[in-house]
Copies of this chain bind each other. A is one copy, B any other.
Amino acid sequence: MINIGIIGGSGYTAGELLRLLAFHPNANIDFVYSTTNAGNAVFSVHEDLYGTLENTFTDTVNPDVDLVFLCLGHGKSLSFLEANNFSVSTKVIDLGNDFRLSKDASFKGKKFIYGLPELNRDAIKTAQYIANPGCFATAIQLALLPLAKNGLLSDTVHVNATTGSTGAGVMTSATSHHPWRMGNMSHYKAFGHQHLGEIIQSLKQLQNSFEQEVLFIPNRGDFPRGIFATLYTKLQSDFESVVKLYREYYEGEPFVKITTNAINMKLVLQTNNCFISLEEKGDYLLITSVIDNLVKGASGQAIENMNLMFGLEEATGLKLKAQGF
């Protein structure tokens, strides 16, 4: 059993981790750290776990756990690790964005590996520290990696992606207030979203020459879960060859499904899957990529990384019933 600590236990990604770990055959939840909820049952916050998980929140860390998941607000992971010492063998998976960029990835002489298995599987297997990708970044990278791998990104990339309201977290806000959000749509941080850094870093990792613009409009959708992303760029090869490259790139991947049929976002909700649809539109390749922002976009992918780091079958605990409707 992997002995696990979860830091920042009251947020959405921690809740989703707990829902997944509760039924993971190799996971033991050693402690769930939350200073504000210390002493309370975990199910007092994540109420669906009533009767499933008996843990209590604590404000004390066990430094000897095998693995720590950091589910803190962006920017708080580094300071937490500086203030809390873990054993030399404790592994860390950070769900925040503190360590995703190479320039920020060093900590006490060790390097955080960017935890996108479809890009860095081998490095993840031997890593001690993992920076788990962002949700938008996951959907967008999976849509583009095969092009980058084959040097086919040589024109502007246009991205429009819509996220569910869980993407904004458990803290209430005006744009997550139900009367405002339901039946509404809006965008934010157009052309300037913070995930662009990790996206471009990964594309350059595969296609060193990549210097094109990625024009990205993120939208707030009227649903709690999911990311629906459409991307297009000029085709640099014939369409059939491109489809073949996608199928080759993702051959054997447990979670990425390539199709040339129309897809919709609900197909992947509650699963760790990413569905990618490819269409030829005149001179352009249109790519549609859908994930569940809390699963493949956060906690499911974190467990996928855990499985790889501990030598387990990658899909362990991640064979999840799709939402359907």
Binding site for B on A (CB under 8 A): 12, 15-16, 19-20, 22-23, 46-52, 158, 160, 162, 164-166, 170, 172-174, 176-188, 190-192, 215, 217, 219, 221-226, 228, 230, 232, 257, 259, 262-271, 273, 275, 279, 281-282, 284, 286, 288, 294, 319-325
Contacts and interface: CB of A to CB of B under 8 A. Distances in A.
A322 B47 CA distance: 10
A200 to B, nearest CB: 15
A15 B321 CA distance: 11
A254 to B, nearest CB: 9
Given A50-B267, A176-B177, A191-B281, A225 B183 contact: yes
Determine which residue in A52, A181, A192, A259 has the highest number of CB atoms from chain B within 10 A of its CB, and name it: A181
Given A232-B215, A267-B48, A281 B183 contact: no
A166 B179 contact: yes
Contact of A51 (B223, B226, B257): B257
B16 A259 contact: no
A323 B166 CA distance: 12
Contacts of A230: 160, 187, 190, 217, 219
A324 B16 CA distance: 7
Contact of A288 (B173, B187, B268, B325): B187
Given A177-B177, A183-B183, A183-B224, 11 more contacts: A16-B324, A19-B324, A23-B320, A50-B275, A172-B176, A176-B177, A178-B178, A180-B264, A185-B226, A217-B230, A217-B286
Contacts of A52: 322
